[in-house]
Every structure is written in C-alpha cells, then in structure tokens.
Structure 1
Amino acid sequence: MVNVLLVDDEPKICEFIKACLDVENYNTDVSHDGKTAIDYFDNNSYDIVILDRMLPDISGEKICEYIRKKSNTPIIMLTAKIEDEDKIDGFKLGCDDYICKPFNVVELVYRIKSILKRSLDLKETSSIKFGEEFELSKLSPELKIRGEQIVLTLTEYKILLRLASNPKKTYTREELLENTTESYYEKIDRVIDSHIKNLRQKIEADSSKPKIIQTVYGVGYKFGL
C-alpha cells in the first residue's frame, strides 16, 4: 500500500486528487494547513508528499525544509507560482518535482508513479533487506538488526556484505579472505574464524546458535536468512 500525504488549502482540489489516487489504491491523508501536515508527517510513514506552496499558516517552503531535515521522502510541490525562478527555488528547497496550477491530474498521477518507482528502485539497490530483521547498506558499513543499529569494522562489513549478497552460496575461508582483508597477517585463512566469531556476537540473537551466519562444516560459511 502506497501512503500519500496531500497538503493543499483548496478542499475541491484535494477531493479531486484523492479520488484519482483512490482509483490507484493509494492511501491518502489530506491536510488543508501546514500545522496539520507536520503533525501527520511526524506521526505516520509516507511514500510521497504532494505539497501546496501557498498555505494559510505555514508556507510550503517551510514544510519542505522541515521534511528534508528529517527524511528523504519524495515531495511534489504544487503551486500557482509559474516563474522559472520560483521553480528553481522549489528544487533548491529539496522538492523532487514541481507542478504548476492549473494542472492535469492524470499527469500528476503518472509523475507520482514515476517518482515512486525511482524511489523504490533506489531503496532496493542501495541495501540488502531480509524482512524487518536485517538491513545492510551496500554503500557504507551500516547495519540494522532487529531495529538496532550495529557498529561494524570495515573487515566485518566486507565479510557480511559478501555473504548477504549471495545467500545461497557457501564461501570457503579463502574466498572470504580474498577481497575482505588487507594485511598479510590477516591473509591466514583461520583469521576469518575470528572475524566471524566477532560478527556473530554483534548480530546473532544467540551467538551459540547462529542463524544469520551459518557454518558449513568442512567448507566454510553461508548466509542463513
């Protein structure tokens, strides 16, 4: 289910947009002012925000800045301001797209779909996820296990990344050493066992009964999720 936050002070426009998003089976929360929009955003999870630039209490610019300080949630800004400078200012604030009023709602829906697809593709390619239990970044040594951030050494990260990238494959110690360790000393294959032990202590619910990094006796290790 796609969750949308729609922020516009014109009820008729909101009704029309929401009706079109309902057809797409999107769940849409509607706010007609900035304060309510911020409350919605702080207490819910949204896949995209459609934001009017001119609101009665808090400007769309301020709300865009507020969201950007907290999240990378995509933002489409709706506005009656049509000058190029206004559009440029909108992008500088951090919006992902800019649509001038009056607009074609069918075009808006397709822009939403396009942005959501890019956002989803980025999420899928930038991390390795297994349910809610495991999320490992492909870009930096960042790991979240069972909702908790885990600090990894660079070597631990490289080992785990290699295992998680191909969970069906069993790696020998030599294969894990090949691109994960730097010093000559660490090229001794049994050193990998020490790294695995440290990893298990950090990431397993019970390191004596490992489920994430499994031993394949006589061969090496594999990813177990």
Structure 2
Amino acid sequence: MPEVMIKLENVQKEFRLRGNIIRALADVNIEINAGEFVIIMGPTGCGKTTMLNVMSGLDLPDDGSIVLDGEKIDRASEERLSNIRRRKIGFVFQDFNLIENLTAIENIEAVLWPGVLRSKEIEDRAINALRKVDLLDRKDNLPKELSGGEKQRTAIARAIIHKPRVLFADEPTGNLDAAAAQQIMELLKSLNKEMGTTMCIVTHDKGLVKYGTRLVEMEHGRVVKS
C-alpha cells in the first residue's frame, strides 16, 4: 500500500466578502500519496489556493479533518503548526518572497535561523541546496541582481534546505516567461525524483500538466477530478 502523505476529509472553508459568504472549499475529500507530483488546477476563485493553504497549515478549515504525514493539523495550535512547517514543509510562491537586503545564500540560510544547528552546518546545507538548483555561482548576489528564474531557483533552494517531506508551490511560474517557467518545472520534477519530496503545485497554466504525475481539478470549491 502506498504511504498517504496528505488526507482531507469533508473539509470546508468559508470567507465573508462585502457581506457575502464565499464557500471556498465545499466538502473536499482527497488523498495524496508520498512522492506524488500533483498539479492542482481550476479557474480563478475555484478554491485551489485555499486548499493549498489548509493542506499546509497556513490556514485552518472551518470543518473537516486534515492529516499531514501522520499528524492531524486541522485543529492544531499555531505553535504546533509552525513546528510542523519547519520540520516537514517547504513553500514556493509566485512573488518569490526573498529578503531584498540579503544575498541568495543568506536568504536560504535564514530559514534555519535561529536554530540548533551550527553556522557551518547551516552554510553547508545552503551551499548544497544551491548546487541542487544550479545556482551556486550566484550565491553572493542580491535579489535585485538576479533574473526572475534565478530568484525562483533561490526560493526553491530555500524551500528544500531542511529536506521537507512536502513542497507546496502556489503559481511558481506565474511571474516567469515561458523558457524560465519550463526550467523551474523541470527543476521541481527532478527534485521530486531525486529527493522523493511530495510536490503539490497550484497553477492555471494547462501547459504545466505534463510535469505532474497526477492532475487534480477544482470547480466552485470542490474537487471534480483527482
């Protein structure tokens, strides 16, 4: 039997917008196995980013059960969720979210500050992460000195420095041209194979489906294909 990495049961999430109730997630049920490369697609407002957020503990559902790598997280405290994210989860976002006054390697190392590791071990891990994304020669550059693709590779290196069990990416190619987008997706695919990291990628770009091992489609807060 494959190992279940993420399991959502009857998950619901609502938001209030200008006096209206928006049902972002409506009784979502889905299982994602360890090592899968899942592409999550759907029209704007279908709930795909909300599902990513509750899967990763960035947000809590209103109802339902969420288990991540054997840990029930749907009613966990923020302290416990923060600890789970530090140990098990990597994040990549459309806007890179790099600290502008830190170099590439400092941005990556910052994930492990403060912590129990010695500075030399942190540096070694950061260098190894940069090697994995083929960006070691740019380690001392500031974000403003990097191209969009290089910024996203830095963000991916930051996401994998602690060897996460799952990597969540929300529109990771949204700010990139077609060539850079292809490079980023090929990189994520290679990391999925090399590290065994479960990948959950939200996108609206149908051209990225070919990189995944599984397509999940959403409409109106529901999973309509998985």
* Same fold, TM-score > 0.5, yes or no: no
- Return the structure number with greater strand share: 2
**Which gives a bigger RCO, structure 1 or 2 (Cα 8 Å, sep 6+)?**
2
TM value normalised by structure 2: 0.24
- Return the structure number with greater helix share: 1
Instruction: Please tell me whether Structure 1 or Structure 2 has the larger radius of gyration of its CA atoms.
Output: 1
